[in-house]
A and B are shown apart, each in its own frame.
Chain A
Amino acid sequence: MDAMTCERFEALASDWLDDELAPETLDAMETHRGTCAACAALVSDLRRIQADARQLSPLVPSRDLWADIEARIEAPVIPLAETVAADDRSRRRARAWQVSPRWLAAAAAGLVVLSSSVTYLLTRADAPAGELGTWVITGTPESPGTSPLTTPATASLEEAAIRATTDREIERLREAIARHGSRLDSATVATIERSLRVIDDAIAESRAALARDPANEFLNEQLDQTLQRKLELMRALALAPSRS
């Protein structure tokens, strides 16, 4: 029979509770428990904890979560990696007349999903920055044809829809920034807003040029780069309060 000490008894106590001991070890522990009040109390306490754990009461959240869940499941989910990969493939394969609208749509989609994630973060308390694995477009445009870029020559309805959603997401991001902006240093806000105005002008010029020449790859690249700059600035501005 194994020599049993209190230290060994304690080390094996959980295995005993879970019926995972060899018979001879179990015998040694039973014998030890009969002569050691401390180890008997240990087993008794652990058994009680184990039993209580099985009967813990159900918990309920402090509020109904359905409205938030429903809002999220109404929106289609676009994994960012898929968007980027699809765009890479299309860039490699497409001829110039195919590249322009697809590239434009992908750039817009990228802006949409990233902006949306920022909007989502801003509406979540203490959301960790590392959780941006899923990107959500909140809603679909009701009137895709209202986008300033939407003409038969420049885009399909789907691409126009993405752009309309982009515009709306940017607007939501602006609203979020407006809500949080008062906590920022005013000089910083003014500087970023000046930069945004310059970028907006550049975007408008690129879009106007693309409306006349939708197959122009240089214009598409230029628009994408400008959109990315705007995105980075807006993200910096929107996330600044949560960093402080």
Chain B
Amino acid sequence: MSAATSRAAPDTAPAGGDPDVALAAAGDRRAFERIYRAHLSRVFSLCVRMCGERERAEELTQDVFVRAWEKLGSFRGESAFSTWLHRLAVNVVLNARKTEGRNRTRYESMDEEGATEAAGTPPIAPGEMMDLEAAVARLPAGARRVFVLHDVEGYKHEEIAEMFGVTVGACKAQLHRARMLLRKYL
């Protein structure tokens, strides 16, 4: 048995009504696998829509669950486990972008002021119709993330602004830009 599986149980069992959370926090990997399967789709969906690439999203999804495993002991049940996990996923995606952004000119959280599409996306053929999923993927990164967090995931502007470290006004501007671009794509 590895060191990770023999982790000591937390002082306070995580609340929230899901026994698998408490079991996983005590080192039960089978319980954690059940948690993974129960929450995979929601976490992966968030990662795909936030980063715009399915392959990268699979890597980020792994990162999210590995991070969740590491931090389960700190989950005290002050919020629903799904809320805690979801927020963790958002942080993982945003931190990944910050890390990758260090090699670029500037973190792109509120970037690409003049951009109208995500980098590398093929042009839209005349008359081509696009579903919302594809249109969201086409958005510039900053606008896409704000749109996903606000309109898809239901976060408030104040929460998003705090995550990105920007003003609420900047967040609203990105959302408006995203919606107007989506209208154009659709």
- Of listed A53, A57, A76, residue having the most chain B CB within 10 A: A53
Cβ-defined partner of A61 (8 Å) among B61, B151, B176: B61
Q: For residue A42, which residue of chain B has the nearest CB?
A: B183
Cβ-based interface call for B42 (8 A): yes
The residues of B with any CB-CB pair to A shorter than 8 Å are 2-5, 29, 32-33, 36-37, 40-42, 44-45, 48-49, 54-59, 61-62, 65-66, 69-70, 96, 99-100, 102-103, 132-133, 136, 147, 151-152, 154, 157, 172, 175-176, 179-180, 182-183, 186
A-B contact pairs, 28 of them (CB 8 A): A13-B179, A14-B172, A53-B136, A54-B151, A54-B154, A56-B45, A56-B132, A58-B42, A59-B41, A60-B41, A61-B44, A61-B54, A61-B58, A62-B58, A63-B58, A65-B58, A68-B62, A69-B36, A73-B4, A73-B29, A73-B32, A73-B70, A74-B29, A76-B2, A129-B103, A130-B100, A130-B103, A131-B96
CA–CA, A102 and B55, complex, Å: 41
Total A-B pairs, Cβ < 8 A: 119
Q: For residue B156, which residue of chain A has the nearest CB?
A: A18
Q: Contact check, A70 vs B176: say whether CB atoms are below 8 A apart.
A: no
Cβ-based interface call for A50 (8 A): yes
Cβ-based interface call for A94 (8 A): no
Q: Contact check, B66 vs A133: say whether CB atoms are below 8 A apart.
A: no
The residues of A with any CB-CB pair to B shorter than 8 Å are 10-11, 13-15, 17-18, 42, 45-46, 49-50, 52-54, 56-63, 65-66, 68-70, 72-77, 124-131, 133, 139-140
CA–CA, A35 and B152, complex, Å: 31
Known: A49-B186, A126-B56. A69 touches B152 (CB 8 A): no
CA–CA, A50 and B132, complex, Å: 10
Cβ-defined partner of B102 (8 Å) among A18, A65, A130: A130
Cβ-defined partner of A49 (8 Å) among B66, B100, B132, B172: B132
Known: A14-B176, A130-B103. A53 touches B66 (CB 8 A): no
Cβ-defined partner of A126 (8 Å) among B3, B48, B55, B61: B55
Q: For residue B132, which residue of chain A has the nearest CB?
A: A52
Q: Please give 14 more A-B residue pairs, beta carbons under 8 A apart, in addition to A46-B179, A56-B152.
A: A14-B175, A45-B186, A52-B132, A56-B133, A57-B133, A58-B41, A59-B41, A62-B54, A65-B58, A69-B36, A73-B32, A125-B55, A130-B99, A130-B100
Cβ-defined partner of B70 (8 Å) among A66, A77, A129: A77
Contacts of B58 in A (CB 8 A): 61-63, 65
Q: Contact check, B44 vs A59: say whether CB atoms are below 8 A apart.
A: yes
Known: A45-B183, A49-B186. A131 touches B2 (CB 8 A): no
Cβ-defined partner of A53 (8 Å) among B48, B56, B152: B152
Give me the 6 closest cross-chain CB pairs, A-B, nearest first: A14-B176, A53-B151, A58-B41, A59-B45, A73-B69, A130-B99
Contacts of B5 in A (CB 8 A): 74
Contacts of B186 in A (CB 8 A): 45, 49
Q: For residue A125, which residue of chain B has the nearest CB?
A: B55
CA–CA, A59 and B152, complex, Å: 13
Contacts of B69 in A (CB 8 A): 69, 73
Known: A61-B54, A76-B3. A128 touches B100 (CB 8 A): yes
